[in-house]
Amino acid sequence: MVEVPSFDMPFAARLSPHVDRVRQHTRTWVRDMGMLAGTPWTEAFYDAADFGGFGPLTHPTAGLEDLKHINDWHTWGFYVTDAFQAFLRSRNVAGGKAFVAGLKSVLSGSAPMNPAEKGLANLISRSTLEPEDSAHLVEFFDALLWELHNTAQGRVPDPIDLVEMRRRSIATELSAKLARKSVGAELPEELLRNSTMRALVDSFGDVPALRQEIVGFDHAYATGGSTTSAVLAVQQFFGCETQQAVSIVADLIAARLRQIGSIIGELPSLATEYGLDAEAKAGLHRYVEALKSWLAGELLWTQRSARFSYSPAPTRTSHRPSGLGTAAFVVSSR
């Protein structure tokens, strides 16, 4: 087992006053979508992981209705990632392709079949998706397949490739947009496409993506669940021991946080360069504060959540097939 280091966080975490109502709403929503059927989530696991508490920590200033919607999106993303573990562990490329094809078909208007598809269809019906949002969702789905192909081939990716793809596999662009919209920050598209702003979003995504690689290593990678791991990539690239690789990844996380601080310091001059008026400058400030809150809240949630440490108490049950492999069988046999 790897020793998880303590992670520094220069930003302060806050908790939404709507946390209890959001937890109640999200639990009802995932049950209605069929996500608590036991594969991959049971009700006990869901409660231990506290997916309902994620949004209230990462979007502490959002209004109740917006926060419910935001948390449903994030919870759906967690569910899809966890459900896809079935295909990674079994190296079931055909099943993984069918799973992703089903999600993509929902984007095209097809009727949903399984809980992941039902959740996506419900979210789409409650959202205003722009073409770029759909494109980012497709990138998220394709990143899952990229990991599956690597794992099926026993290939550990190059560290640079892995970092870039991890941004997609945690839907960095969509998370940043949810944060921006949650605080009503209307910013010019040309500013958002600026290289400095792009670097801000990339660094924002790298922090939780790389931290998950460490915190979830024993759960997902050391057990043979995937070869697509930043820890394994660094270990192979530098020829070092696992724990040393963990330290290098942790150092990279710290470097990304320092980079975020440096970029934030450049934003006033960038606002002047783009001729932002007072309202747009205020929006840019709110956006940056939202990203900072997101990062601080995500770390606190990760430290409190049992997503990667939950161990169900042994019980005597029937011999009904269960576990992650069941999900692969059910989806690939549709």
pLDDT, one tens digit per residue, over 262-272 is 999 999 999 99
Residue 315 has a pLDDT of 42
Are the C-beta atoms of residues 206 and 163 closer than 8 Å to each other? yes
pLDDT, one tens digit per residue, over 24-40 is 999 999 999 999 998 89
Among 18, 31, 30, 24, smallest CA distance to 57 is for 18
Q: Taking 90 as the threshold, does the pLDDT of residue 328 lie above it?
A: no
pLDDT, one tens digit per residue, over 69-111 is 999 999 999 999 999 999 999 999 999 999 999 999 999 999 9
Q: How confident is the model at residue 317 (pLDDT cuts 50, 70, 90)?
A: very low
Q: Which residues of 232-254 are buried (b: 16+ CB within 10 A; e: fewer)?
A: bbbbbeeeeebeebbbbbbebbb
Residue 223 has a pLDDT of 65
pLDDT, one tens digit per residue, over 43-76 is 999 999 999 999 999 999 999 999 999 999 999 9
Radius of gyration of the chain (CA): 20
Are the C-beta atoms of residues 156 and 236 closer than 8 Å to each other? yes
pLDDT, one tens digit per residue, over 132-163 is 999 999 999 999 999 999 999 999 999 999 99
Q: How far apart are CA 148 and CA 89, in angstroms?
A: 9
Nearby residues of 158 by Cβ (< 8 Å), 6 or more positions away: 233, 237
Q: How far apart are CA 84 and CA 145, in angstroms?
A: 9
